[in-house]
Amino acid sequence: MLPVFGHLNPDTDAIASALVYAHLLSRQGTPAQAYRLGELNFETPFVLQKAGVEVPPLLPALDAGTAVALVDHNERAQSAPNLADLQVTHVVDHHKLGDLSTMQPAFLRFEPVGCTATLLLKLHREARLSVERADATLMLSAVLSDTLHFRSPTTTPDDREAVAFLAPIARVRDVMAYALEMFAAKSDLGDTPAAELLRMDYKVFAFGDPALAQRWGLGMIETTNPAYVFGRQAELLAAMRAAKAADGLDGVLLGVVDILNGTNRMLVPGESEAQVVQAAFAAPTVDGVADLGDRISRKKQIVPALEQHFEAQV
C-alpha cells in the first residue's frame, strides 16, 4: 500500500487531499492509504464528519527506500522526518518547489491554483473517472478552506469552477452557508493552550543562502473571531518566544487572519522579527502587532516577501 500524506500540522487540504488521492490511486490500480502528520485542526473533523469519512491514521515510521506519495507540500522541513531517504513516486501540490528530489522519475503535478484538491479534480477528469460523493465533499471543503471561500489572492478560476462542479455532487445547496459553518468550526478554539494554537497551522521555512541558514517558523490563525485571539496575545507571544528557542529558529511570526474582513494582523514576538517585518513588508510593529493589511496568504504574500528580503541580504 502506497502511503499518501500531506504536510505536518495538517490543514483541511492536507487531510482531504491525502484521502482523495489515495482513493484515486487505488481506483487506478495503485493500492494506496492516506495518513496524517499530526493532530487535526478544529475545521477538519467537521469536514470529515460531513463526508462520512474516518480520520486517517498517523504516519508510522517508514523504512528508507519506501515509496511514498506527497500531497499539498514538497519541502523536507514540512514532511516526514526521513523524507530524504524515502522514494517519492508521486506529488500533487500547489506550493512553490522547495528541496524536493526523487530517486526515480516520478508523477508530479504542480499548478499555481488555490488548492491541491482542485488539481485532484482535474486528475479525476483526465482519467475519465466519476467523482464519488464523499470525495466531492472532501475536495469542495478543501477548496473553500484553502481559498477562504475565494477571499484569498491564491484563488483562480479553476478553484471557482471546481466548487461549482463539486457542490451538487456533495449535495451542498448553499455553499456560502456551508463555508461559514466550516469557518465557525475552525474558529471555536476553546481553551486550547497557546503553544498548540501557534502550531495548528505552522510551517518552518529556510530563507536566503543555505550557508546563512535563516530558518523561520510561520504560523497562521485564520478565524472569524480575531478578538478572541488578541485576547490571548501575551500567551501567544510567550509561546512564540519559546518555540523559537526550542527549535533554534531565527524568527517566529504568527499571522492572525480575519477571514470575513480579509485582513491580517501579525504577532511579532521580538525586536529582530520586528526589523525583518519592517524591511520586508514596510509594516511597523506596535505593542507586538504589525498590521499587514490584506496580505492574508502565507504562500503568495508572506513567504515570497521574506524570501526576497533574505535573498537581497546575500
The binder of Mn ion chosen from 14, 22, 197, 198 (CB under 5 A): 14
Q: Which is nearer to Mn ion, 14 or 296 (CB)?
A: 14
The binder of Mn ion chosen from 5, 62, 70, 72 (CB under 5 A): 72
Q: Which is nearer to Mn ion, 11 or 258 (CB)?
A: 11
Size of the site for Mn ion (CB under 5 A): 6
As measured in angstroms, the least distance from the Cβ of 296 to Mn ion is 14
Determine, following the binding rule CB under 5 A, whether residue 93 of this chain makes contact with Mn ion.
no
Q: Tell me which residue of 10, 4, 205, 24 sits closest to 91, measured CA to CA.
A: 4
Determine, following the binding rule CB under 5 A, whether residue 19 of this chain makes contact with Mn ion.
no
Q: Which is nearer to Mn ion, 95 or 208 (CB)?
A: 95
As measured in angstroms, the least distance from the Cβ of 64 to Mn ion is 26
Q: Which is nearer to Mn ion, 135 or 146 (CB)?
A: 146
Site for Mn ion in 98-127 (CB under 5 A): 116
Which three-class secondary structure state does DSSP give residue 52? coil
DSSP line for 206-272? EES-TTT-EEEEEEEEEES-HHHHHHTHHHHHHHHHHHHHHTT-SEEEEEEEETTTTEEEEE--SHH
Determine, following the binding rule CB under 5 A, whether residue 13 of this chain makes contact with Mn ion.
yes
As measured in angstroms, the least distance from the Cβ of 147 to Mn ion is 9
Q: Which is nearer to Mn ion, 139 or 276 (CB)?
A: 139
Determine, following the binding rule CB under 5 A, whether residue 37 of this chain makes contact with Mn ion.
no
- With CB atoms as reference, the residue minimizing the distance to Mn ion is 13
Determine, following the binding rule CB under 5 A, whether residue 273 of this chain makes contact with Mn ion.
no
The binder of Mn ion chosen from 3, 4, 9, 11 (CB under 5 A): 11
Cα→Cα distances 69→79, 95, 99, 106, 250, Å: 11, 15, 16, 10, 31
Distance from C-alpha of 230 to C-alpha of 234, rounded to nearest angstrom: 8
Listed in sequence order, the DSSP H helices in the chain are 12-27, 44-51, 116-126, 133-146, 157-170, 175-187, 194-200, 226-231, 233-246, 271-281, 303-311
Site for Mn ion in 133-162 (CB under 5 A): 146
Residue labelled with grid coordinates 484521502: 19
**Longest alpha-carbon distance in the chain:** 56
Q: Which is nearer to Mn ion, 11 or 159 (CB)?
A: 11
User: In angstroms, how far is CA 89 from the centroid of its own chain?
Assistant: 21
Site for Mn ion in 221-240 (CB under 5 A): none
As measured in angstroms, the least distance from the Cβ of 145 to Mn ion is 8
Q: Which is nearer to Mn ion, 15 or 277 (CB)?
A: 15
Cα→Cα distances 86→43, 76, 80, 286, Å: 30, 11, 9, 45
Span near Mn ion by CB under 5 A; candidates 72-80, 163-171, 242-250, 263-271 = 72-80
Q: Which is nearer to Mn ion, 13 or 250 (CB)?
A: 13
Which three-class secondary structure state does DSSP give residue 100? coil
> What sign for the dihedral angle of Cα 177, 179, 182, 188?
negative
Distance from C-alpha of 300 to C-alpha of 156, rounded to nearest angstrom: 13
Binding residues for Mn ion, per CB under 5 A?
11, 13-14, 72, 116, 146
